[in-house]
Structure formats: structure tokens, C-alpha cells
Structure 1
Amino acid sequence: MIHIQYFGALHDQLGCASEQLAWTGGTSQQLLTALRERGEPWFSALQTDRIFKIAVNRVLKHEVVDIHDGDDVGILPPVTGG
């Protein structure tokens, strides 16, 4: 089981701030794919052409990382601005 927190616009788009998810292990990319496969609104909110930052156990990662059972995962949407 992993704990996922959704930040920024994702919180609003998905209608939830966090959830517990059964997870046997895999990468951050596999997690995003599994969430997209739920259908709407997950598919639209987590579009493949957008770059998401992933934090694992409160450490921001800048690459694809392994996520293990028991991890806390934060998903941060792309940020734009000037």
C-alpha cells in the first residue's frame, strides 16, 4: 500500500487530495500509467504530454524512480509562469 498526495490543480481536477493505493512495486512512470488507466478524470488530469514531478518520502525526484510498498508519494502538476 502506498499513500498518494495530489497537489495544486491535480487536487481540484481529481476531486481528492490523497488516497491509499494497493501497490506491489514499480516505477513512478508505471504508477502514472496505472492511474491514467482508471479513465476520467484521471486520464485527462495526468495527460502523457505533461511533465509531472514526483516526490517519494518527501524527496523531490527529477527522474523516473522506483516506488515501493509503504512509500509516501506526492504528484505535483507542471508549473508555468514568468
Structure 2
Amino acid sequence: MLKIIYMAKLKEQLPIAEETIEWHGGTRDELIQLLRSRNQLWHETLAPENVYKIAINNSIVHQNAHIPENAEVALLPPVTGG
């Protein structure tokens, strides 16, 4: 299993704030591809040109990291600062 938390703008754009999915381990890219395959809304929201961060068990990853079973993943949209 994998717990996914959608943060800030993502939870507004997608029809969900949090979910648990069946997961037997895989990469960050595999997870994103799985989510994109749900439908057009998911595909557009999580499109490659929409830059966002992913945290695995509260640590932000910057590359195609492995996501183990029973992890918690947070998807964070881009933020602006000033």
C-alpha cells in the first residue's frame, strides 16, 4: 500500500486530497505515470511541464527515487516566493 497526499493547489485541481493505493514498490516516475493514466484531468494536472516536488516519507526527492511499499508520498505543486 502507498499513502498519497496532494498538497495545496493539487488538492484543489484533483478530486482528492489524500488516498491509499495498492503499491508493491517502484519509482517516482512509475507512480506519476500510474496517476497520469487515470484520465485527462490527472494527465494534465501532473503533466511533465508542470513542475512539482515529491516527498517520500517527509523527505523531498529530486530524481527518480525508489518508493517502497507502505511509504507516504506527498505531491507538492510549485510555489512562488518573494
> Could you tell me the TM-score, scaled by structure 1's length?
0.90
How many residues get paired? Answer: 82
Higher mean C-alpha displacement, 23-32 vs 40-49: 40-49
Report what 1:3 is aligned to.
Answer: 3
Q: Residue type matched to 1:75 in 2?
A: L
Structure 1 residues 1-45: Cα deviation after superposition (integer angstroms, max 9, x where no partner): 000000111000112110001011111111001000001321111
| Unaligned stretches of 5+ residues in structure 2 | none
Structure 1 runs of 4+ off > 6 angstroms? none
User: Does residue 70 of structure 2 align to residue 70 of structure 1?
Assistant: yes
Report what 1:31 is aligned to.
Answer: 31
Report what 1:22 is aligned to.
Answer: 22
Report what 2:58 is aligned to.
Answer: 58
Distance in 1, matches of 2:81 and 2:39, equals 29
> Could you tell me the TM-score, scaled by structure 2's length?
0.90
Higher mean C-alpha displacement, 4-13 vs 56-65: 56-65
Distance in 2, matches of 1:15 and 1:38, equals 12
Report what 1:12 is aligned to.
Answer: 12
Identity %: 39
Q: Residue type matched to 1:19 in 2?
A: E
